[in-house]
Amino acid sequence: MGENQTSVTEFILLGFPLGLRVQLLLFGLFSLFYTFTLLVNGAILGVISLDPRWHTPMYFFLSHLAIVDIAYACNTVPQMLVNLLSPTMPISFPGCLTQTFLFLTFAHTECLLLVVMSYDRYVAICHPLRYSAILSWRLCITLAITSWACGSLVVLVHVSLILRLPFCGPHEINHFFCELLSVLRLACADTWLNQVVILAASLLVLVGPFCLVLVSYTHIFFAVLKIQSREGRRKAFSTCSSHLCVVGLFFGSALVIYMAPKSSHPEEQQKVLFLFHSIFNPMLNPLIYSLRGTELKSALRRALCKESHCQLE
């Protein structure tokens, strides 16, 4: 279909229909969260890249998670901040599809990275003597590239199916960004194929990886129980606690968004859940990993001190 019958050239993102004072308050609050997200994730990337002691598979995958969190925030938050100040500011049709593509790509990639990180913890605890042999750098790089590639390829299917649909009616999206389901509600044709593909993709990229994480942690749990000393068990559990918190936050909200039955106010509730995904999740992830210990903070401090000494010399 050459022209795909799309007469709508731009959309209006309704965002949060609140009073002016509340919108200005949200603008300041979300700007603060956005800045904090970029700074904390950027600090983690800096620590991992500057300190050779952090050049391990676990922190290699954590650096990719930090990149995804930064990209998450940069894809949705700036547009949301613009809309809080100028609610009628339109977004072009290509720009809207690009935002949809990027958001879903980062979401799928983070999902797959969390599975890879759970495999890393499984090997570290269940096969510690073979850790370096199993998780070679070649395998780590392959797993990271595969996560990014699979995340984007699945989303290409969604975008190509959207391009087949005609958009000829309303152009107001009841969301703060071009979320897939909200865009589909504006299509002037039956979207059953899109819905089937969304369900299949949710099972493939969401439920499947979540089950793999559960399998990994089931093996980890029984392996930790076999450790004789309480201190050994505590250390083993502490290495997984931060990842488990991140997994719970990500998969919990994602499963509610795409797999839970629709309620009486689905769109408003989904906006809150996506707000958690876009702002709070990327901000909380680095904080959760930092709480695992003071190593990250001390490493960043040492790196900054080194840099200041070099400048003085």
Question: Which strands sit side by side in the sheet containing 172-173, from one edge to the other?
Answer: 90-92, 10-13, 172-173
Q: What is the pLDDT of residue 8?
A: 74
Report CA-CA distances (Å) from 90 to 32, 103, 104, 198. 24, 19, 21, 26
* Nearest CA among 277, 99, 103, 87 for reference residue 174: 87
In this structure, are residues 302 and 51 in contact, taking their beta carbons and an 8 Å threshold?
A: yes
Bridge partners for 92 per DSSP = 10
Contacts made by residues 265-268, CB under 8 angstroms, sequence distance 24+:
267/174, 267/175, 267/182
For the chain, the farthest-separated pair of C-alpha atoms sits apart, in whole angstroms, at 68
Would you tell me how many other CB atoms lie within 10 Å of the CB of residue 10? 13
Q: What is the pLDDT of residue 310?
A: 45
Q: Each residue of 242-285: pLDDT tens digit?
A: 888 888 888 887 777 766 655 545 667 778 778 877 888 888 88
Residue spans per domain, the chain: 10-312
* Nearest CA among 164, 163, 148 for reference residue 106: 148
What string of H, E and C letters represents the secondary structure of the chain?
A: CCCCCCCCCEEEECCCCCCHHHHHHHHHHHHHHHHHHHHHHHHHHHHHHHCHHHCCHHHHHHHHHHHHHHHHHHHHHHHHHHHHHCCCCEEEHHHHHHHHHHHHHHHHHHHHHHHHHHHHHHHHHHCHHHHHHHCCHHHHHHHHHHHHHHHHHHHHHHHHHHHCCCCCCCCEECCCCCCHHHHHCCCCCCCHHHHHHHHHHHHHHHHHHHHHHHHHHHHHHHHHHCCCCHHHHHHHHHHHHHHHHHHHHHHHHHHHHHHCCCCCCHHHHHHHHHHHHHHHHHHHHHHHHHCCCCHHHHHHHHHHHHHHHHHHC
With a cut of 50, say whether residue 4 has pLDDT above it. no
Would you tell me how many other CB atoms lie within 10 Å of the CB of residue 143? 21
CA R_g for the chain: 21
Q: How confident is the model at residue 153 (pLDDT cuts 50, 70, 90)?
A: very high
Q: Each residue of 85-144: pLDDT tens digit?
A: 887 788 888 999 999 999 999 999 999 999 999 999 999 888 888 999 999 999 999 999
Q: Of the ranges 57-61, 194-198, 213-217, 265-269, which one carries the lowest mean pLDDT score? A: 265-269
> What is this structure's pTM?
0.86
> What CATH number was assigned to the domain covering residues 10-312?
1.20.1070.10
- 10-13 and 90-92: which strand pairing? antiparallel
Q: How confident is the model at residue 203 (pLDDT cuts 50, 70, 90)?
A: confident
Q: What is the pLDDT of residue 179?
A: 87
